[in-house]
Amino acid sequence: MVIPYEGQSFSALKRQCQQKGVLFEDPLFPTNDQSLFYQTNRIGNVTWKRPKDLCSNPRLFVDGISAHDLHQGQLGNCWFVAACSSLASREALWQKVIPDWKDQEWDDEKPESYAGIFHFRFWRFGDWVDVVIDDQLPTANGGLVYCHSNDEKEFWSALVEKAYAKMCGCYEALDGGNTADALVDFTGGVSEPMDLLENGYRGDKEKRDELFDRVLKVHDRGGLISCSIRATSAAEMEAKLDCGLVKGHAYAVTDVRRVRLGHGLLAYFRSDKLDMIRMRNPWGEREWNGPWSDSSEEWKKVSKSEREKIGVTVQDDGEFWMTFDDFLANYTDLILCRLINTSYLSFHKTWEEAVMRGSWRHNSDPLLNRTGGCTNHKSSFLQNPQYTFEVKKPEDELLICLQQKDRRATLREGRGENLAIGFDIQRVELNRAYRMHTTQEKVGGSTYINSRSVFVRIDLKEGRYVILPTTFDPGLEGEFLLRVFSDVPSNCKELTLDEPPKTCWTGMCGYPTLVTQVHLLRGAGLEGQDSSGASDPYAIISSEGNKVRSPVQKNTRNPNFDTKGLFYRKKAKQPITIKIYNHNLLMDSFLGQVNVPAEQGSFQQTLNLTGKGDARVPGAISVVITTSSVLTNI
C-alpha cells in the first residue's frame, strides 16, 4: 500500500498541469528560505532553477544509475548521500524509490508532456509514502547548492534529495543524521548498528570470519551496508587521517566478496581467496591509500580478468577496496540493513513478521498510564505498553526493532529531537493473557539511545515473552512501531487488560478471587512404570479446567522444566494439579502426579509424585507457588 504524502496525487497533479500547459509549482514546498532552513539562512543568496535552466538537455539518468553519480553539496548529509550510493547499486531497490522512472524521464519526442513534476517513495513508519515535488532546485553561482551528479545533465540525486528534504521539513533538517534511518527509508528493512570496537573483532579471527560471513550474506541478499570511523570530538569531525580515510564520515559499502588470488588456469584450482570489501566516500574523492588501494602493488597478485570482474579502477572517484582485516583495523561502526524476506516462494530464509503500532500516552491513573520510563523507574516501569509473543521452536533467532515516529519535520517548532528509547524482553508464564504487575525474568533488551530506531538480534528458548517498549525517562509521549521477526508465527499481540473482565457470566458463575503463579522448576529421578524409565518427560499443570503444558525435555530423568503458568481461581481450597508424562511416538505414558496446595503467599517446595496404582514413588518435582488475593499483584 502506498500513501500520498499530504494527500498530493502525482498523476492528478501532472494531468492538471498538462491540461493547463504549465509547469508544476509545489505549494507545500515553496521556492523560499522556509524550504531551505528551519532557522536562518546560512548560505546567502539562493536562486531556484529548473533543470532546463541549468543545461540544454537534462536527464533523470545519464548512462544508467551508479554510486558514482552522487556528490555531497553544502549540507552535512553524508549519511544520506552514503545511503543513496548504496541504493544506486541495487536496481530492485532504487526502482521502488524512483517509481515508473522511464515515464518520469524527459521525453525529447513529446516535450509538451513535461510538467516539471516528479515523485519518489520512501518507507516511513510502516508505510510506503509517495512524495511529490516540482523540479525547481536551489542554486548559487550557477550551480546546485546541494547533492549533485558527476554529469551536469543528470538530476536524479538532486531530485531524490529534494523529496526527502520535503518529507523532513526542509533541507537543513538533513544537516546531520543517521545512515541507518535513510537505509530503512529506502528499503523498509531493518538496520542493525554494530560497534566494531566493543565486540572484540580486531583480536579474534573466529569472530572476524563470522562477521564477514554475516556481512557477505546481507550484501548477497540485496541488503544495504554503511560504515564510519567514529569522531570523539567536534574537532575530529571530517578530519582526514594519514591513511586517506575521513573521521565522522559515512561511507557506503558498494561490494563485499572473496577475491581469488593468482593468475591463469592455476588460479581456479587454488583455494587462496581474500576477504575484501569496497567502499565509497560521498565526497567522490579522498580514498584509502593503504594496501589494496587503487594503484597499489598488491593488485598484481590478482589476474586481470578477476580485476575486471570486480571493477578495480585507478580513478580518484572516492571508491576503493581494502581487506576485511584492514577494514576492522580502521573503521569503528558498521550498519547492516537487512531486507526481511517474508515470501514463501524464496530460496532464502523466510521470516514471519509481526507489526505493532503503539504510543506512549500519559495518564494520572497508574493503570492507564503508558509513559513509565525505563527499569530505573521501578514504580512506573510496568505501566508501559506490553506486547506478548511466543517462541514455538526449542530455540529460535528473533529480530526485534522498535522505531519511534520521525520528528525532523518539527525541528522548526523546537520539537525535533528524538526521544531516548529502548525495550526490555521478559520471559513470562506460558498462558499469560493479562498485563504484568510485577517484573518477571529478564532475558534481553536493547540499549537506550536517542536514535529513531533500536534493534536486537536474539536467540530465545521455547516459551512466552513480553516486550516492554519504553522511553528512558517517564512522562514522555510519542508514537512507535514495534516489529518482531521470527522463524514461525509468534502470535504477537498487545496486553491491554489488567485482570479478567467482569461479564454477566461472572456474576452467575463467580469471579476469580485469587491469582496463582506456578513455576515448575525441575524434576528428579523420574521413573516410568516399566523398565524403560522416563526419557522424554513433560508436565501438565491444571487448575479449574485451565491447563499449561511444558515443552518436552529430551532424554532425561532429571528434567529442567523451568515452566510457568498463571491461574485465576474461584475455589481457594481446590489444589492445583501437576501431572508428568513421558512422550512416546504412539501414545504418551503417565508417570505420576502431585496436588499442590495453593495457599496464599510465596513459597518453594519439593513434592513427591504419586503413581497411578503403584505404591512406588516415581520421582519428585520442585515448584514455586505464588498466590495473591489481589489480581493486579502478578
Taking alpha carbons only, the member of 323, 333, 329 closest to residue 298 is 323
Taking alpha carbons only, the member of 334, 87, 367 closest to residue 226 is 334
User: Judging by DSSP bridges, how do beta strands 563-569 and 514-524 pair with one another?
Assistant: antiparallel
Distance from C-alpha of 325 to C-alpha of 201, rounded to nearest angstrom: 9
Reading phi first (left if > 0) and then psi (alpha if -120 to 50, else beta), residue 392 is in alpha
Task: Identify the active-site residue in 17, 77, 78, 170.
Answer: 78
Q: What is each CA distance from 62 to 69, 82, 150, 280, 284, in whole angstroms?
A: 9, 20, 10, 20, 17
The strands making up 563-569's β-sheet, listed across from edge to edge, are 563-569, 514-524, 620-628, 601-608
Distance from C-alpha of 281 to C-alpha of 291, rounded to nearest angstrom: 17
The strands making up 251-260's β-sheet, listed across from edge to edge, are 190-195, 333-338, 224-228, 251-260, 273-280, 319-323
Task: Identify the active-site residue in 119, 148, 249, 519.
Answer: 249
Do 523 and 593 contact (CB within 8 A), yes or no?
no
Do 528 and 534 contact (CB within 8 A), yes or no?
yes
User: Judging by DSSP bridges, how do beta strands 2-4 and 127-134 pair with one another?
Assistant: parallel
Distance from C-alpha of 83 to C-alpha of 182, rounded to nearest angstrom: 6
- In this structure, the chain runs to a length of 634
Taking alpha carbons only, the member of 566, 595, 561 closest to residue 578 is 595
Taking alpha carbons only, the member of 192, 223, 489 closest to residue 350 is 489
- Burial class for 537, CB neighbours closer than 10 Å (0-12, 13-18, 19+): buried
Do 591 and 537 contact (CB within 8 A), yes or no?
yes
Task: Identify the active-site residue in 77, 281, 384, 418.
Answer: 281
Q: Is 492 a catalytic residue?
A: no
Q: Is 289 a catalytic residue?
A: no
Q: What is each CA distance from 427 to 431, 443, 461, 468, 494, in whole angstroms?
A: 11, 6, 10, 11, 15
Taking alpha carbons only, the member of 356, 366, 337, 342 closest to residue 180 is 337
Instruction: Give Cα 598 distance to the centre of its chain.
Output: 43
Q: Is 519 a catalytic residue?
A: no
Distance from C-alpha of 469 to C-alpha of 371, rounded to nearest angstrom: 10
Give the angle 283-284-290 at the CA atoms, nearest 5°. Answer: 100
Residues 6+ apart with CB under 8 A from 118: 104, 132, 133, 134, 135, 159, 163
Distance from C-alpha of 137 to C-alpha of 51, rounded to nearest angstrom: 8
Q: Could you list the active site residues?
A: 78, 249, 281
